[in-house]
């Protein structure tokens, strides 16, 4: 079957930035691609204009709401694929009600995001990013860091990313503690140990957040849980920004309860220019980019496109 009439909207930034390399691989599919400029996400109003003009939509972190899908269904939209793992921005119930098949691409980025998390842990342990800033400014700083061996790393979430983070931390000689209500002790690979949140956080030197954003994990790291953590804990978030209550984190950074944080994600993205987080030189900021390697983007984009075409062919 040919696909000359399939119009596909792509709003996932990593995929968009590699579109020149990806297009030849899609040539046999004979799809017409729309590739808008997207920094992080499009707005609901922008999507309500674009989505109805397309048969398929490869979704990034955009607000894929009931309103957007309803508008799309009234136009040409027939199927969608969420590029990547996280699905907190996609209203699956609306798709079911509207008869729009939708799926994500799970299990794509465990290694890539875990690599970034490991880099952040090392950066916070040894102040490598502060050293870089100091040298660039003409100085020669030599902050005294901490060794990883023998320290305790708490990992919130034990999915694909969390398991890969645990493997890396254990390889560095760290004690690893897992928090995930969806797993059993038998499913946690030794030497990691499963505990119930927030028990044991008073002994953790690092907290690495890798869980999905759900109603139960929303602002799970908050004033209460932060107060129960070991003073001087270092926090890494490579999951979703709203898992952390940023106002509580800012207060904990100011008081020294949290020594430093490495945040690849934020409650509002991009990080607002007036965010108080910007005042902390002891923090490392990312751009929601943990999964973005050329290898992973090509692999995931091909799977996303093939799944979307499979949906459209089957309708």
Instruction: Answer yes or no: 269 catalytic.
Output: yes
* Helix extents (H) in the chain: 13-17, 19-26, 44-50, 66-74, 92-98, 110-126, 128-136, 160-171, 223-227, 246-255, 294-314
- Find the catalytic residue in 54, 78, 234, 240: 240
* Residue that has been written with the tokens 């990034």 in this structure: 60
Cβ density class 36-54: b for 16+ within 10 Å, e for less: eebeebbeeebbbebbbeb
- Please report, to the nearest 10 degrees, the dihedral formed by the alpha carbons of residues 249, 252, 258, 259 taken in order: 110
Instruction: Tell how far CA 265 is from the center of its chain.
Output: 7
Q: ω before 155 within 30° of 0 (cis)?
A: no
- Find the catalytic residue in 78, 234, 288, 307: 288
Burial (CB < 10 A; 0-12, 13-18, 19+), residue 260, is buried
Phi, psi of 102 (to 5 degrees): -150, 145
Instruction: Answer yes or no: 240 catalytic.
Output: yes
- Find the catalytic residue in 17, 269, 299, 302: 269
Instruction: Give catalytic residues, as residue numbers.
Output: 240, 269, 288
């Amino acid at each position: 079957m040919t696909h000359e009439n399939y119009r596909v909207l792509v709003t996932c930034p990593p995929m968009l930035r590699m579109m020149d390399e990806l297009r030849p691989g899609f040539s046999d599919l004979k799809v017409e691609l729309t590739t808008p400029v997207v920094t992080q996400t499009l707005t609901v109003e922008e999507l309500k204009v674009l989505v109805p003009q397309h048969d398929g939509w490869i979704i990034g972190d955009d607000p894929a709401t009931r309103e957007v899908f309803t508008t799309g269904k009234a136009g040409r939209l027939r199927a969608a694929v969420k590029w990547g793992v996280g699905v907190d921005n996609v209203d699956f119930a609306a798709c079911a009600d509207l008869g729009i098949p939708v799926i994500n691409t799970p299990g794509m980025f465990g290694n890539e995001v875990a690599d970034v998390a490991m880099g952040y842990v090392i950066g916070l342990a040894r102040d490598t990013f502060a050293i870089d800033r100091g040298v660039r400014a003409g100085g020669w700083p030599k902050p005294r860091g901490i060794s990883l061996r023998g320290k305790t790393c708490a990992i919130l979430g034990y999915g694909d990313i969390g398991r890969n983070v645990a493997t890396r931390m254990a390889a560095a000689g760290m004690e690893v503690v897992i928090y995930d209500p969806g797993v059993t002790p038998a499913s946690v690979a030794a030497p990691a140990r499963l505990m119930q949140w927030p028990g044991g956080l008073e002994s953790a030197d690092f907290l690495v957040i890798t869980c999905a954003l759900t109603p139960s994990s929303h602002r799970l790291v908050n004033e209460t849980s932060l107060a129960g953590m070991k003073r001087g804990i270092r926090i890494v978030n490579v999951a979703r920004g709203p898992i952390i209550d940023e106002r509580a984190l800012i207060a904990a950074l100011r008081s020294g309860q949290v020594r430093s944080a490495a945040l690849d994600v934020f409650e509002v993205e991009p990080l607002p220019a007036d965010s108080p987080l910007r005042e902390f030189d002891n923090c490392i900021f990312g751009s929601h980019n943990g999964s973005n390697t050329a290898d992973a983007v090509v692999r995931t984009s091909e799977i996303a496109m093939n799944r979307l075409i499979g949906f459209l062919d089957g309708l």
